[in-house]
Amino acid sequence: MNLDLIVKKCIKGHLCYPTHALCPNCRSIMSEETVNLSQLEGTVITWTTSTVPPPGVRSPNILAIVEYEVGGESVKLIGGIENESVKIGDKVRPVYSSQLRDPDHCQRVMECQKWSGHRFEILDKDN
Ligand SMILES: [Zn+2]
């Protein structure tokens, strides 16, 4: 269990999430360097509502693509937002959840299903 939201860097400094064997941007190998996004603000660049969420996924299932800029590099992540007033440009922060899904509606063997992860919380809604 990791409460932090960690992205890795390739040897040329591109941010990658999720981690791949080779950097999707330049095909270099990944370095051991990481960046913790847990306390950083990201920006919603687009979002959608899935009107037919799969079993176990909360409804409404609002998904956002969030961009982080760190040291001149950017990385985009997809994640849930439990706020129906989300707008493009909103500033967000990742929030750890031990139960992203409902275990009673498991699609696979319970033991192989990952239940924890991050969703996003909107900051400064009045700005
Ligand atoms: Zn790279």
Residue 99 resides in a domain: yes
Max Cα–Cα distance, the chain, nearest Å: 44
Query: Which residues, listed in sequence order, are joined to residue 34 by a DSSP beta bridge?
Result: 8
How far does the centroid of ligand 1 lie from the alpha carbon of residue 16, in Å? 8
Residue 97 resides in a domain: yes
Q: What CATH number does residue 65 fall under?
A: 2.40.50
pLDDT band at 102 (very low <50, low <70, confident <90, very high): confident
Q: Which residues form the domain of 97?
A: 38-123
Residue 30 resides in a domain: no
Per residue in 10-27, pLDDT (tens digit) is 999 999 998 889 999 999
Distances (CA, A) of 6 to 15, 48, 96: 10, 24, 12
Residue type, 56: G
Residue 58 resides in a domain: yes
Q: What is the pTM of this model?
A: 0.85
Average pLDDT value for residue range 85-114: 80
How far does the centroid of ligand 1 lie from the alpha carbon of residue 82, in Å? 32
For residue 61, what are its two tokens?
């299932």
Q: Residues with Cβ < 8 Å from 108, sequence gap 6 or more?
A: none
How far does the centroid of ligand 1 lie from the alpha carbon of residue 68, in Å? 16
Q: How many domains does the chain have?
A: 1
Place of tokens 């493009």: 88
Distances (CA, A) of 125 to 43, 60, 90, 93: 12, 20, 7, 12
Per residue in 25-76, pLDDT (tens digit) is 999 999 999 999 999 999 999 999 988 877 777 788 899 999 999 999 999 9
User: Which residues neighbour ligand 1 (ion) by CB within 5 Å?
Assistant: 10, 12, 14, 23, 25-26, 28
